[in-house]
Chains A and B, each alone.
Chain A
Amino acid sequence: MGTVALDGARPRKRFLNTGFLVVLWLCLAIGVVSLIVLLVYVFVQGAPAFGPRLWRRFPSFDPAEAGARSAVFGTIYTVALTAAFAVPLGVGAAVYLEEFADRDHWWSRLIALNIQNLAGVPSIVYGILGLAFIARGPLGLGPVILTGGMILALLVLPMVIIASREAIRAVPPSIRDGAMALGATKWQTTWRQVLPAAVPGIATGIILALSRAIGEAAPLIMIGAFVYVPFMPTGLDSKFTVLPIQIFDWVARPQAGFSQLAAAASMLLLLILLGMNAIAITLRNRYRHRW
């Protein structure tokens, strides 16, 4: 009896097994295939227009002459500013939450929960916040590069905090205990032992967060970043544009030459993103610890 039942169940189980595997493959394939289609489409469209003129020339009415110099450098400046704001604030908050705060207190848990929620807030909402409080309102900075950096910093701050917290949490308690046992203060333990050990994780998190910031257009359009900027950023109070906004503008133009340029600029943006991700992976692999 038992053997009969088993024999009957086996092919069905095997079928289910294979079926489930196929479903999983499909899930994977949809993601990978759409990425490949997107990449191929962008590269085929953009390749003829891709070249140094993208970062050498300023925007123009003539698609054969136009470049995205102001957008490329606007992007670099904005992301550098974003990093300058988000990294110290984010790492600082993470160190406090992990090393100093009482993790189980309701207050800390509420803060942790809120940070996770903030990470899921749509970027346009940060744009509205920035428009009301930074570009206009109390700070009244206007649609300048400093405003852009601050808004993107707010946008990625939750991601930096979460990644840094995880990196710090992954440092084994024995390291802290060892340092404390040798008479180190809390400050010395954190600064000399825990933080250095967490650097690979923190750096990876920061770069991934900045990769998100680099692709954002919505919050910057919200604060009134411009689409035609024929000069380099000159300082924190300079008017600016970024690559996603330039792409957005070119896509909406009637001439076919501009849609080619938009694809070429998307290629450039993708290459910058891939480069940043490669740095993140290298950092992680190079400094990964085995305890």
Chain B
Amino acid sequence: MKKSIRVENLSKNYGGFKALSNINFSVDKGTIHGLLGENGAGKTTAMRCLLGLSYSDSGNMFIEEIEVSKNNFKLRKNVSYLAGDFRPYENIKPIEYFKYILKLENNSSEKYYELAERFKLNLNKKIKELSKGNKQKVGIVQAFMRESNLLILDEPTSGLDPNYQRVFRELINEEKELGNTILLSSHDLLEISNCCDFITVIKEGKVISSQSKRDLIEKTIKKVSINFLSKPSESEINKIKCINNFEVEENEIKFYISGDINEFIKFISNFSIKEIETESSNLSETLLEYF
């Protein structure tokens, strides 16, 4: 699959602080890729390096297979960005702000009307008079109105109420359907697990996991409680690879399973069962383990 973004051995220090340490990840074209991590993990730094707002100390970055080098501003023609701490000009109206941004690139798009309508954003009220959530909508609209192939969104739903978070999710899925790529960062597990096809987890400036959502779901731990009439011995249970852990309480055994569940089903079919109860932990809980 073609890569929209490729990051190789990227490092960035601020004074003595290592913000990024040899990170590697890539973003497939036409996917939604989540950068997950705690505050200060290095998500924003990685994005700023990609956009040329900060310069890396070492490593290589590629957007659409073109290397991101200093002052390679033309590369950003098809890249939209929403800063994590988005700050527009306060003394103008959203419509004036959008027109100004588009004018800077000779872009004649009028998509902001449609986007503002979807987010119920008042285009003619001064930005300084808007609430935090509405200012964030200004940021979202300015990112999507340029009709870019690649959207880099830093904590895009911060300050949005659940209704508009849903509108936002619809919007990024539409972009994905158009073949556009979205890289979004968040420390919100639910947002990442709901939206993304791929998830890269960054912790203390290092990538600790980068895999597809499907792979992650497979790794999700399922809990199965079985009340046996004739229960297996502990040594028999230990032989089954997909059982991560188990707890025995009289005739009831609680199994913690991940990966291929068929092996487990075959195993328990050898025993008489009185009652069975299953419980799946969600992806958010799996992701939480990385923190």
Q: Is B one of A's binding partners?
A: no
